[in-house]
A = this chain, B = another copy of it.
Amino acid sequence: MNAKVQVQTQFELIQDNLAEIIGEKELLEKLESGKTLKVYWGTSPTGKPHIGYFLPLIKIAQLVKAGCEVTILFADLHAYLDAMKTTWELLELRTKYYEILIKQILTNLQVDLSKIKFIKGSDYQLTKDYTIDVYKFMSCITVDAAQKGGAEVVKQSDNPALSGLAYPLLQVLDEIYLEADIELGGQDQRKIFMLSKDHIHKLGYKSPIYLMNPMIPSITAKLSQDNQGNQDTKQNIQPDQVQKYIDQVTKLKDKNLSWDNFIKITNKIGSDLMDKSIGKISSNKMSSSDTNSKIEFTEDSASIRKKISKAFAEPKNSTNTLFLFLKYVIFPINKLKNQSDFIIEREEKYGGNVQYTNQESIKDDYEQDKLTPQDLKLGISNWLINFLEPIKNAFNTDELKDLVKQAYPSE
């Protein structure tokens, strides 16, 4: 394979199914240089990982296939601070669980594990150099900019904790301290990536290339064509809404409020009206903390079948999460494993088995009602249960059962 063809092959693997690349030109240049590219992907060791993790893990498999080396960061310091009820001991156990699980999945995706490095945030985020850089970063970024950076990943509230403004800065510094050429993250990380691009040069550093995987919505979500799920605060306010605002402020006239409170209350009136008018941030994305919206990697087969059977899917309308799962999970994994066929094992009376080599033909059949939602759900359930089989088996030892019990004592 000549160099040009090789770069093209690498690039195709890297960009496959991504929502966005920032720094595409630079990526091509780096590939052309022949240098081994270092990738960083981070996750916080909290709840048990769910199948939403397929997307970054598939991308990691593709990146390794494209010749990259990947550092997986377990952001234990963040997790510790995020929910201060979690002890370091528990976090240690969860980090261990995450590492074993992720290794199992990657092995199942035929990844060469020697190309993957695991690291914990607490291994370097508390060193003197790193800490000085955090303070420096804080000195040259405004409160507003930091808030904007974390807007989609930090829990938002009327009165957020100060730490929420600091975390995005740490994530940006991680790019530097892990010497990443590339950072991989979900689309919800975009604002943090922009924070890096806008500000990190002030500390004398340079942002890496960013790869963003799309976010898979909850399997129970009803999809619209434009399923962003985010609050669009750029939407214009209408004169009648301003009037509503004024009406409410007018009522404050005789309330004997302090200036302090007046400003707080008017602020609240504004945000409440905005929320009513354009809708709260919808929580369509799969969440580790909502058990009904997610399927865990080690979930038992009956439960997987039950959850998938409840997934939203109308006959003939292929705008649903199941098709996203085909596109972003099943076919890419089949390709990684050199298994091109997706089989729906249907009883003879319903038409018998049917076999697909690409999602387009599934979509065609579905839209013509040759394939029902039940058929599709059956096929996807079987595929998933089959894929997870070796992973669940690996966890079926006394040692790992113990680990899970200790890491997640309340489950």
| A interface residue numbers (CB < 8 A to B) | 77, 81-82, 84, 126-128, 131-132, 135-144, 146-147, 159-166, 169, 233-237, 239, 242-243, 245-246, 249-250, 252-254, 256-260, 262-263, 266-267, 270-271, 274, 277-278
Contact = CB atoms under 8 A, between A and B. Distances in A.
A237 B250 contact: no
Contacts of A256: 236
Given A138-B161, A160-B143, A242-B249, A270 B262 contact: yes
Given A84-B136, A138-B162, A143-B160, A237 B262 contact: yes
A252 B277 CA distance: 17
Contacts of A84: 136, 139-140
Given A84-B140, A128-B126, A138-B162, A259 B237 contact: yes
> Copy number in this complex?
2
A4 to B, nearest CB: 44
B126 A142 contact: no
Contacts of A267: 263, 266-267, 270
Contacts of A234: 258-260
A162 B136 contact: no
A258 B270 contact: no
B165 A162 contact: yes
Most buried by B among A143, A233, A243: A143
A249 B252 contact: no
A389 B274 CA distance: 65
B233 A258 contact: yes
Contacts of A144: 159
Given A138-B163, A239-B254, A263 B274 contact: yes
A258 B140 CA distance: 26
Nearest to A88: B132
A129 B271 CA distance: 38
Contacts of A252: 237, 242
Contacts of A161: 138-143
Contacts of A262: 237, 242, 270, 274
Contacts of A266: 245, 266-267, 270
Contacts of A259: 233-237, 270, 274, 277-278
Contacts of A77: 132, 135
Nearest to A264: B144
B162 A141 contact: yes
A236 B262 CA distance: 9
A246 to B, nearest CB: 5
A141 B165 CA distance: 12
A171 B132 CA distance: 16
Contacts of A278: 259
Given A138-B166, A159-B142, A163-B135, A236 B253 contact: no
A35 to B, nearest CB: 33
24 contacts: A77-B132, A81-B136, A82-B139, A131-B131, A135-B163, A137-B162, A139-B161, A139-B162, A139-B163, A143-B159, A143-B161, A143-B162, A143-B165, A162-B165, A166-B166, A235-B258, A237-B258, A239-B253, A242-B249, A242-B252, A259-B277, A263-B274, A266-B267, A267-B270
A262 B169 CA distance: 27
A274 B253 CA distance: 15
Contacts of A126: 128, 131-132
